[in-house]
């Protein structure tokens, strides 16, 4: 990319913005800027469907029934210490190899309690059969997991292994997408958005051949949520 190319791009930008302004016609520029900056500052909520405004028990039940409807499965455990056993049980139930790649965020759990389960922490390689990651939040309204990137959560672990197990704490289940954004904003503070915020509603699927649904198109064939009730 030479200086000329960069110069052309800058002029491309100005020309495009100029044409937009011509098309928009006369307007009160100060008022327009104020309206835009107010909206960006306050990011007001639009209409949020009623169904997401429910009590705690109902919200968790809604999340579970919604995500189960998308071909995902859910197991409930009492506390974090129970998670490794639940992972081992899930793998045994599906005849999967007892080998899991863990996100750093879940590495502190008591994996030694499962001596037959071989674990490794970090970014997956293509042949890893199982990935275990932690959710940032979940959304009851649509049965959706919110997974965010960070030092403890490699995004490829949500995608490459054929089987994806997500650890979710009960208190992470929110009502609506907007509730989940509020939590992310609070959590991130001045850091702004993480590189990736993925909303996952079920295992990977495709209907590109004759509109028939097949699971496991490119991402995980199975999605299993371990819901920690504490």
Partner 1 sequence: MEPTSAQFHENVDKALHDADLQTALHRVDKNFAARRTAAVTAMPEFEALRDEAVRIKDHTLDHLDLYLETFEENVIASGGQVHWAATPEDARQIILDLCQTAGARTVTKGKSMIAEEVALNPFLEQHGITPVETDLGEYIIQLADEPPSHIIGPAIHKTKEQVSDLFATHHEKLGKTKRLTEGSDLVAEARDVLRPRYLEADVGITGANFLIAETGTSVIVTNEGNGDLTQQLPRMHIVIASLEKIVPTLEDASTILRVLARSATGQQMSVYTTFSTGPRRADDPDGPDAYHVVLLDNGRSKLLGTAFRDILRCIRCGACFNHCPVYASIGGHAYGWVYSGPMGAVLTPTMIGIEEAHHLPSATPFCGRCEAVCPMRIPLPKMMRHWREQAFDKKLDPARQRVALRVWAWVAQRPALYRRLTGLAVRYLAWRGRPLGRLRDLPLAGGWTDSRDLPAPQGQTFSAQWARQRQGNA
Contacts with partner 1 in 24-63 (CB under 8 A)? 24-25, 27, 32-33, 35-36, 39-40, 43-47, 49-50
Tokens of 203: 């295992």
Q: Which of 47/116 has CB closer to partner 1?
A: 47
Pairing of strands 137-139, 144-148: antiparallel
Tell whether the torsion through CA atoms of 60, 73, 221 and 130 is positive or negative: positive
Contacts with partner 1 in 79-98 (CB under 8 A)? none
- Write down the residue that tokens 């071989």 correspond to: 118
* 131 sits near partner 1 (criterion: CB under 8 A): no
CA distance linking residue 11 with residue 9, whole number of Å: 5
3-state secondary structure labels for all residues of 86-108: HHHHHHHHCCCCCEEEECHHHCC
Contacts with partner 1 in 178-217 (CB under 8 A)? 178, 181, 192-212, 214, 216-217
Query: What is the total residue count of the chain?
Result: 230
Least distance (Å) between residue 213 CB and partner 1: 9
Least distance (Å) between residue 131 CB and partner 1: 12
Q: Which of 80/219 has CB closer to partner 1?
A: 219
Q: Which of 57/211 has CB closer to partner 1?
A: 211
CA distance linking residue 177 with residue 141, whole number of Å: 8
DSSP state of 150: B
Least distance (Å) between residue 42 CB and partner 1: 9
Residue selected from 86, 87, 140, 177 as contacting partner 1 according to rule CB under 8 A: 177
User: With CB under 8 A as the contact rule, which of the stretches 15-23, 90-98, 108-116, 165-173 interacts with partner 1?
Assistant: 15-23
On whether the CB atoms of residues 133 and 126 are closer than 8 A, the answer is no
User: With CB under 8 A as the contact rule, which of the stretches 79-87, 110-118, 128-136, 140-148 interacts with partner 1?
Assistant: 140-148
Least distance (Å) between residue 186 CB and partner 1: 13
* 120 sits near partner 1 (criterion: CB under 8 A): no
- CB neighbours of residue 30 within 10 Å: 8
Interface with partner 1 (CB under 8 A), residue total: 79
On whether the CB atoms of residues 143 and 67 are closer than 8 A, the answer is yes
């Amino acid at each position: 990319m030479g200086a000329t190319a960069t110069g052309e791009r800058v002029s491309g930008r100005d020309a495009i913005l100029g044409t937009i302004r011509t098309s928009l016609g006369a307007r009160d520029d100060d008022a327009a800027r104020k309206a835009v900056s107010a909206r960006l500052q306050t990011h007001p909520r639009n209409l949020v469907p009623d169904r997401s405004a429910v009590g705690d028990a109902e919200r968790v039940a809604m999340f579970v029934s919604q995500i189960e409807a998308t071909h995902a499965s859910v197991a409930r455990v009492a506390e974090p210490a129970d998670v490794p056993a639940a992972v081992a049980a899930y793998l045994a139930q599906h005849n999967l190899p007892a080998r899991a790649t863990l996100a750093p965020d879940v590495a502190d759990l008591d994996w030694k309690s499962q001596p037959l389960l071989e674990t490794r922490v970090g970014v997956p390689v293509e042949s890893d059969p199982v990935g275990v990651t932690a959710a940032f939040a979940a959304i009851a309204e649509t049965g959706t997991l919110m997974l965010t990137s960070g030092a403890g959560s490699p995004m490829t672990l949500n995608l490459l292994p054929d089987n994806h197990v997500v650890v979710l704490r009960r208190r992470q289940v929110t009502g609506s997408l907007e509730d989940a954004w509020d939590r992310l904003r609070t959590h991130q503070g001045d850091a702004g958005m993480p590189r990736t915020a993925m909303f996952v509603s079920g295992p990977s699927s495709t209907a590109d051949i004759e509109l028939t649904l097949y699971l496991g198109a490119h991402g995980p064939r199975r999605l299993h949520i371990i819901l920690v009730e504490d």
